Each structure stands twice: as C-alpha cells, then as structure tokens.
Amino acid sequence: MDYVTLSNGDPMPMVGFGVFQITDAKQCEKAVLDALDAGYRHIDTAQAYGNEEAVGNAIAASGIDKEEVFVTTKVWVSNAGYENALRSIEESRKKLKKPYIDMVLIHQPFGDYYGTYRAMEELYRMGRVKAIGVSNFSPDRLVDLAINADIPPMVDQVETHVFNQQTEARKWMDKYGCRIESWGPFAEGKNNLFSNPVLTDIGGKYGKTAAQVALRFLLQKGIAVIPKSVHAERMRENIDVFDFRLSEGDMGEIEKLDTGTSLFVDHSAPETSEMFNRWEI
C-alpha cells in the first residue's frame, strides 16, 4: 500500500474502500470484512450513507487493531452548523466504535458549512478527529474556506476519473496544501470505462484490466482513490495496482480521455443546492 502525506504530517492510505449505496447492514459488514481481509486499511463512509454503525461493527469484528484502520466519514447538510456538527460527529464516532475519527469531511458545500468547519477544527484540536477536509468543493469555495479557516482543509474528495481528471481544480488544491481524493474513480462504469479501448489496450501490456489501469493512472497522479465493490474478487483486483507502473506514453494517452466535465451532478446549479438542502437524514 502506498500512502499520501496530509498537510498535518499524517499518512493516509492511497487506496480506500467505499461503502456508498451499501445500505443493508449485514451486506455492509460483510463487504468491509472482505475488504479488510483483502488488505484495505482505509474505509470511507458518511452520515448520509446510513452504514457507519455497520462499518464500526465490521472493524471491531475483524480483530484488526482499530488504530490500523483509517476511517473517513462525512457531515451531511442537514447536520450543518457548529452545534449540529459537534453532536453529529460524536454520534458518528460512537457508531464507528473508535476513540477518534481518522478524517471528517464536509460532505457537500451547502448549508452552514462554515459552522460545521469550526466544529471540526475544535474536534481536531481536541484529538477527537485526526484530519479534516471537504468533499465536492469547487476551487472557489475551497479557496474561500482555506483563506478564512484556522486550519485549511487537508483533503477535497471530488469526482475524479479518467474522463474528469480535475486538472484545473487540482492547481488550487496544491496551492493551499489540500490533497485530492477521488470518489467514483470508475465513473460508475459510465462512458463504457471498463471496456474503453485505450484502457484495455494499455492494460494488455501489463496483464491488467481497464479498471486497474484507470486506478493506476490516478495513483501515479498522486490522487487517492475510493473504489467500491461488494464482490471480494473485485476488491482484491482493485487493490492489486502497486506491482506495475504506467509509462509516460501510457499516461499521455489516458490524459487525452479527459473531458473536464462531470458525469454526475453540477454542484453550481441552483437545482443541486435545492436538492441537497432539502435532503434530510
């Protein structure tokens, strides 16, 4: 496993296991146990996923020291604001069954996220949270928060894959010492990623799949990734990406796949703000 160093000096595993949309508790627990058995040591959940408790149960049942498993969760919009965030993060910590949460992110750039971030800074100083950051923040919102916060965000988890490589956004993340982390590294299979001829042809040279090439490309760019699967075989495949390195030519060919646009949601659209602000958990 490779690690990326956050601005506070702490390491974060570059490949994590995501549990988005795994809402059944037993299925989630099994998936996390399978992921830990496959070698994952970073589990990514969120308040809005409804499975923090299942993640905590799985880590406890695994027999692995809790301090060895890096856990990320995210504060949802309906829990935004200083007091709400303090309360909800403590609830998340109890569900995860950890003395502290390794990383807490603001899930969406809506609601009173400044109040949320102040709460996160306080918990960070107390040692109840080891790293803090944001998710889905565009460069303008990230820069505004970084300038006005006492502790600039350490991570921005954004949609990042071969078709949306976040090249411009990353320039601003780098300027403010914020690491980029990819959600949706497979673009959820959109644009036929798993059979893309560029990725499959490159994979053939290394005995790897298009999915493995897509992950390796991001990793070589210094981008942490959060792939998701409920199948143990696919989990093992997704973490088996450290025994090869793409050539400069390969990287260049994949860079040409970038469209610079989202395949999922436009966070700048007023309809998106309405949707997330009305989404209660």
Give me the active site residues, please.
49
Residue type, 44: D
Whole-angstrom distance, CA of residue 199 vs CA of residue 257: 10
Cβ neighbours around 243 below 10 Å, total: 10
